[in-house]
Amino acid sequence: MKTLPSILLVFFVSLAVYPQELSLATMFTDALVLQQQCDAPIWGTGKPGSTVTVNGSWGSSASCTVGPNGEWKADLATPAAGGPYSVTVTQDSRAITLNDVLIGEVWLCSGQSNMEMPLRGWPPADTIGGWFNEIPNAIYPQIRMFTVERKVSTEPLRECTGTWKECLPSTAALFSATAYFFGKKLHNELNVPVGLILSSWGGTPVQAWTSEPFIVKDPLYANAAEQFKNNRETFTRLQQWLADRPVIDLTPFSSRSDWRTASFGDASLERAEQFDSSWKSTALPGGWEQNEIGPFDGVVWYRRTAAIPSAWKGKELSVALGPIDDYDAVFVNGTKIGGMESGSPWNIPRSYRIAASLVNDTVLTIAVRVIDTGGGGGMWGTEKQMELGLPDGSERISLAGQWKYRAVAEIRNGKAYLFDNTIGLNERPRGAVDFGPDHPASLYNGMIAPIIPYAVKGAIW
């Protein structure tokens, strides 16, 4: 027999676990686009057992009962393309109204860097032909894009972060270029509103966008079930560890692909003269994934000293470092001599001049800060691309070989988690696998599952 205290305990636990207030999934906001002439799923959370009614101002209505877990979904019949309309969702006395709703063709736009690349490109190296004319004339308020924020997950998520934005000169620069031109063609030829759901991440494999149930059936992934188990265990440990680190929001830098003013609590590392135990040794050149650092997105400093001929003292020199993925800032004797800190320079070999005034001894200290925001990272060229010498190339010495390095921050989901001289990469939890955007189902779980079952006409990759 249950006692009154135990019944009350179950009641209050239920209130804490399951939502009571009416809410909509994050995709349902003002300015959204719904697929025309279909039963479009609308979903969210509410009070278990209550009735939720969805009304479209075009005359359609749908109702459903909130499930025991607090979730509900109603299929609202949509008319032929048109709008703007409103959609009102009610539960008891609570009502939520979405305004400026368009009905048209909705497409999922997913993939890698070819889909992720914005209309403005990634200057200075990678730009879209004619972007300077296209963006000022991109006045298409009936083309709207919902951009799903980058996120990896070991389990299918229910929610994602993103917003619907009209295509205007003030917003078009950050629209996916591929999705923009696709949507523009549809809009002009069909004369209907177009909704574009952008869910992309450059440099990621298709397996990351595939669901776990599908992958485990494939004979090529016979060990997938064990890998998924390892992923979850490793990711859980890592998330718990990162939760104790100071955090910086990277949106001001990532939104402009400009990292010149980014700081990670590392302002003095270019001037440090001694190495403490937080600095480790590694051989360069070499990408992070191929050396001690391993699969990692974040900020790493490199330093080494270089003995030069006495005849070079007081002369201008040049330093070549090969390509650096993604961004770099280079210092000699504590003074910044150059860097590529904006755009998309990941495959451009670096070469900088060293002012004669800095060459005042026969030993130079070279420091390089590398920022990798996703995919491969590091100083990954060839040995011949890492040299120091006279600008005319007549005399050169190699910089390939042993360098000291120190990781100062990890980048995940638009945030930087800061390390210090006692807590760093060596203390970071590692397991059989290091879970990230290149692992099977990681992006399906984090960036596709939350937008299912939103009604779409189709998908482009």
CB atoms within 10 A of CB 21: 10
Q: Report yes or no: 371 and 330 within 8 Å, Cβ to Cβ.
A: no
How far, in Å, CA of 355 to CA of 367, rounded? 15
Beta-strand pair 39-45/23-24 = antiparallel
Q: Which of 247, 281, 299, 283 is nearest to 408 (CA)?
A: 299
- pTM attached to this predicted model: 0.75
What's the pLDDT tens digit per position in 60-97? 999 999 999 999 999 999 999 999 999 999 999 999 99
Topology of domain 20-206+445-460, per CATH? Answer: Immunoglobulin-like (2.60.40)
Domains 20-206+445-460 and 249-422 share a fold: no
pLDDT tens per residue across all 461 residues of the chain: 344 344 334 444 444 455 679 999 999 999 999 999 999 999 999 999 999 999 999 999 999 999 999 999 999 999 999 999 999 999 999 999 999 999 999 999 999 999 999 999 987 767 888 899 999 999 999 999 999 999 989 899 999 999 999 999 999 999 999 999 999 999 999 999 999 999 999 889 999 999 999 988 888 777 777 777 777 888 888 889 999 999 999 989 987 788 999 999 998 898 867 667 789 999 999 999 888 898 889 999 999 999 999 999 999 999 999 999 999 999 999 999 999 999 889 999 999 999 999 999 999 999 999 999 988 899 999 999 999 999 999 999 999 999 999 999 999 888 999 998 888 888 888 765 567 788 889 999 999 999 999 999 999 99
The verdict on whether omega for the bond into residue 84 sits within 30 degrees of 0, i.e. cis, is: yes
Beta-strand pair 94-111/458-460 = parallel
Listed in sequence order, the DSSP H helices in 216-254 are 224-242, 251-254
Residue partners of 316: CB distance under 8 A and separation at least 6 = 353, 354, 355, 356, 359, 391
Q: Residue 179: its pLDDT value, please?
A: 98
CB atoms within 10 A of CB 276: 9
How far, in Å, CA of 273 to CA of 111, rounded? 45
First-to-last C-alpha distance (Å) of the chain: 58
Q: Residue 433: its pLDDT value, please?
A: 58
Q: Please, what sign has the CA dihedral across residues 392, 397, 402, 404?
A: negative
Q: What ranges do the domains of the chain cover?
A: 20-206+445-460, 249-422
Question: What is each CA distance from 387 to 306, 321, 351, 357, 407, in whole angstroms?
Answer: 10, 7, 9, 20, 24
Question: What is each CA distance from 156 to 214, 217, 306, 409, in whole angstroms?
Answer: 13, 18, 50, 27
How far is CA 317 from its chain centroid?
38
Residue partners of 145: CB distance under 8 A and separation at least 6 = 164, 165, 167, 175, 176, 179, 180, 183, 195, 196, 197, 198
Residue partners of 410: CB distance under 8 A and separation at least 6 = 242, 245, 296, 297, 298, 416, 417, 419, 428
Q: Thinking of the domain 249-422, which architecture would CATH place it in?
A: Sandwich (2.60)
Q: Phi and psi at residue 82, in whole multiples of 5°?
A: 170, -165
